[in-house]
Amino acid sequence: MKIINIIVLSIMTGALSGYGEMVAAPADLWTKYDLIAKVTILTVHTNQEVLYFDSPRGKSYGYPMEVEVTEALRMPPEMEPGRIQLLAPVYSIHGDRRLEFDFYSKGEYSAGNQPAVACSYQRRNGTWLVSEWVLSEAQWAEYRDQKERGVSSVDSPRSESRDMVENARELIRQWRGGEISMEEYNERMTPIREYYRWQSDKLQELP
């Protein structure tokens, strides 16, 4: 019950609201990302604002970063270790609201920093590798262990709650990447939200 309680709490406080920076935690599986690497940030091009997501419901902007890959757990097949370019999410515009992305606003994407990052291609055109997470040492170690053990999505033990979380993360990724509209996102999230409302009601019945 503790696992369900934590998951429900994270969702009720906004983890699945549709904004990537509000997701409760990185993906459980290392194979969910296109790039997982430790990098040294060389330059952040703050004068080159990039629109990497655009829909009638909102727009997301980021800055290109020149980075040096120092250690990689996972890389796209067309990419080689060394100096590469990533995109640091900076902010999103939704109507008259500007939402800052947490990692940038906290200075994680600053020249000279050496973060471990998990990145995914912007799926609409595959142009940008967007840095979605700055990983903790514990999460990096977990992904490294998964790689060494050869863990893939088909090997991972599943539960209904875990499936729901993974499905929600995937919908958030698709929405951020411009693959689906906010309307489609909300429609496909409805059964997931209903599931967690049901789980929350069950928790209220506990002595």
Query: pLDDT tens for residues 22-32?
Result: 445 788 889 88
The DSSP element (H or E) to which 87 belongs, if any, is strand 83-94
- Mean pLDDT score of the chain, rounded to an integer? 78
Query: Each residue of 125-134: pLDDT tens digit?
Result: 557 899 999 9
- What DSSP line would sit under 59-82, residue for residue? EEEEEEEEEEEEEEEE--TT--SS
> Stretch 175-202: mean pLDDT, rounded?
75
Asked if 200 contacts 194 with a C-beta cutoff of 8 angstroms, the reply is no
Tokens of 60: 């997301």
Does residue 78 have a pLDDT over 60? Answer: yes
Read off the pLDDT band of 197 (50, 70, 90).
low
Work out the percent of the chain whose per-residue pLDDT is above 90. Answer: 36
How far does CA 48 lie from the centroid of its chain? 22
pLDDT value of residue 160: 55
The token pair that represents 6 in the structure block: 């934590």
Single-letter code of the amino acid located at 186: N
pLDDT class for 77, splitting at 50, 70, 90? confident
38-50 confidence digits (pLDDT tens): 999 999 999 999 9
Domain encompassing residue 93: 2-204
Three-state DSSP at 45 gives: coil
**Res. 7: pLDDT tops 50:** no
Under the banding of pLDDT at 50, 70 and 90, the label for residue 106 is: very high
Is it the case that residue 21 has pLDDT exceeding 90? no
- To which H or E segment does residue 116 belong? strand 116-121
Question: In this predicted structure, what is the pLDDT of residue 119?
Answer: 93
Can you give the pLDDT at residue 2? Answer: 33
Work out how many domains the chain is built from and give that number.
1
DSSP string over 152-192: -TTTS---HHHHHHHHHHHHHHHHHTTSS-HHHHHHHHHHH
The pLDDT value given to residue 6 = 30
Instruction: Name residue, tokens 């296109």.
Output: 34
Lowest mean pLDDT among 7-11, 135-139, 165-169: 7-11
The values of phi and psi at residue 168, to 5°, are: -65, -45
Residue 174 CA to its chain's centroid (Å): 10
pTM of the model as a whole: 0.65
Give the relative orientation of helices 2-10 and 182-204 as an angle to the nearest 10 degrees: 140
